[in-house]
């Protein structure tokens, strides 16, 4: 709690919530919530969990060069990761599922973290694709649309970051010997002698997690799977929309999905409070959805995305929790899951 990053996240969430709810007539928000047909959440949640299963298959696919682990084994670990992201700050669930995988399947943490980073990069590329596919329509919404008005600039910078990172990872995977030589050269010339071997060991383990990207076919498969995952999640947006008295196109919900998930990369309180809600309300309002209706929908959608997966992740975790006193758990608990070089080396051994 002493870390300034944590308090910054709470501050950002509070500011975004204030601006997103400012000026709303709360009695109309309440009426929208009371008038919603919540049975529509059931097919939305079902479609969402199909997406989580596909996400588990994608991780199984990425990990195949390290160890062949069935998708049914990966699914509980993925849900635990979601739970961690929802209740801890700084996406600690990503580290949590790498630690769980190490304890249950003996996959080195640094290697599994590499596969998780690959996942996130592909997710970011898909989110940007959702935005760019709708840029012509987005241009019509920028007048008096507040948050939405700057999305074009955000998308351009996001594309540079995510596509640049993807290019680096693909090149590192396709040319492992050259990458290893470059890393060794940098380590020997930049880092102090006392930590060189530790960093070298971690770096090589990390590179092993990129092996699934060594062929164009493998990269295309991961990209295709990522697109399916996010289209299924947009399906949940579509089902939840039918619980409320408004309608926008599926493409508009794809745009909303892309924008809110890019926004959740901003530091925030646990559960993406504010960073999810503010852009969602702003976008729907720009589509002429009444702001109070947009707020009710976004709040219910956020809860439907947060609650079921968090409960299921907690259930799977409690069935087989981390072993107290283990190196992996101590590393996870240390400094809000900030893993030092010494800790990662110790965990991977």
> Which pLDDT value is given to residue 146?
55
The pLDDT tens digits for 295-348 are 999 999 999 999 999 999 999 999 988 875 555 555 555 534 444 334 444 445
Per-residue pLDDT of the chain (349 residues; tens, 9 = 90+): 457 777 888 888 898 888 888 888 989 999 999 999 999 999 999 999 999 999 999 999 999 988 999 999 999 999 999 999 999 877 889 999 999 999 999 999 988 998 998 899 899 889 888 888 877 777 666 545 555 556 666 667 777 888 888 888 888 888 888 888 888 888 888 888 888 888 888 788 788 778 878 878 888 899 999 999 999 999 999 999 999 999 999 999 998 998 898 888 888 888 899 889 988 998 898 888 999 999 999 999 999 999 999 999 999 999 988 875 555 555 555 534 444 334 444 445 4
Spatial separation of the C-alpha atoms in residues 63 and 141, rounded to whole Å: 42
SS3 178: helix
Helix (H) or strand (E) holding 335: none
> Which pLDDT value is given to residue 324?
54
Q: What would the DSSP string read from start to end of 256-315?
A: HHHHHHHHTTS--BTTTBTTTHHHHHHHHHHTT--HHHHHHHHHHHHHHHHHHHHHHHHH
Predicted TM-score (pTM) of the model is: 0.84
The pLDDT tens digits for 43-55 are 999 999 999 999 9
The domain tally of the chain equals: 1
> Which pLDDT value is given to residue 142?
52
> Which pLDDT value is given to residue 235?
97
70 Rama sector, left if φ>0, alpha if ψ -120 to 50, beta otherwise: beta
Is residue 328 within 8 A of residue 102, CB to CB? The reply is yes
Long-range own/partner contacts, residues 258-265 (CB < 8 A, 24 or more apart) = 258/126, 258/127, 258/128, 258/129, 258/130, 258/131, 258/134, 259/131, 259/148, 259/151, 259/283, 261/123, 261/127, 261/230, 262/124, 262/127, 262/128, 262/131, 262/154, 262/155, 262/158, 265/124
Domain that holds residue 63: 4-348
Spatial separation of the C-alpha atoms in residues 48 and 60, rounded to whole Å: 19
Helix (H) or strand (E) holding 207: helix 193-208
Spatial separation of the C-alpha atoms in residues 76 and 164, rounded to whole Å: 32
Helix (H) or strand (E) holding 46: helix 41-63
> Which pLDDT value is given to residue 282?
86
């Amino acid at each position: 709690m002493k870390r300034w990053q944590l308090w910054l996240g709470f501050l950002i969430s509070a500011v975004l919530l204030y601006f997103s709810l400012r000026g709303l007539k709360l009695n109309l928000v309440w009426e929208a919530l009371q008038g919603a047909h919540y049975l529509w959440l059931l097919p939305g949640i079902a479609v969402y969990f199909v997406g989580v299963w596909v996400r588990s298959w994608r991780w199984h696919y990425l990990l195949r060069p390290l160890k062949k682990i069935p998708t049914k084994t990966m699914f509980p670990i993925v849900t635990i990761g979601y739970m961690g992201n929802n209740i801890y700050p700084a996406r600690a669930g990503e580290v949590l599922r790498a630690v769980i995988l190490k304890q249950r399947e003996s996959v080195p943490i640094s290697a599994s973290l590499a596969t998780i980073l690959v996942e996130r990069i592909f997710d970011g590329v898909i989110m940007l694709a959702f935005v760019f596919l709708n840029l012509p329509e987005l241009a019509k919404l920028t007048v008096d649309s507040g948050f939405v008005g700057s999305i074009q600039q955000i998308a351009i910078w996001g594309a540079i970051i995510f596509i640049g990172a993807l290019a680096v990872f693909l090149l590192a995977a396709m040319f492992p010997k050259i990458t290893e030589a470059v890393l060794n050269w940098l380590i020997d010339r930049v880092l102090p002698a006392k930590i060189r071997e530790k960093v070298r060991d971690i770096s090589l383990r990390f590179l092993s997690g990129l092996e699934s990207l060594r062929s164009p076919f493998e990269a295309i498969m991961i990209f295709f799977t990522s697109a399916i995952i996010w289209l299924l999640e947009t399906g949940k947006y579509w089902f939840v929309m039918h619980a409320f008295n408004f309608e926008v196109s599926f493409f508009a919900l794809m745009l909303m999905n892309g924008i809110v998930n890019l926004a959740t990369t901003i530091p925030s309180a646990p559960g993406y409070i504010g960073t999810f809600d503010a852009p969602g309300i702003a976008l729907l309002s720009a589509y002429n959805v009444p702001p109070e209706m947009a707020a009710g929908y976004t709040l219910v959608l956020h809860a439907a995305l947060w609650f079921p997966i968090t409960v299921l992740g907690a259930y799977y975790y409690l069935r087989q929790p981390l072993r107290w006193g283990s190196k992996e758990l101590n590393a996870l608990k240390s400094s809000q899951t900030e893993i030092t070089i010494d800790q990662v080396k110790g965990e991977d051994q």
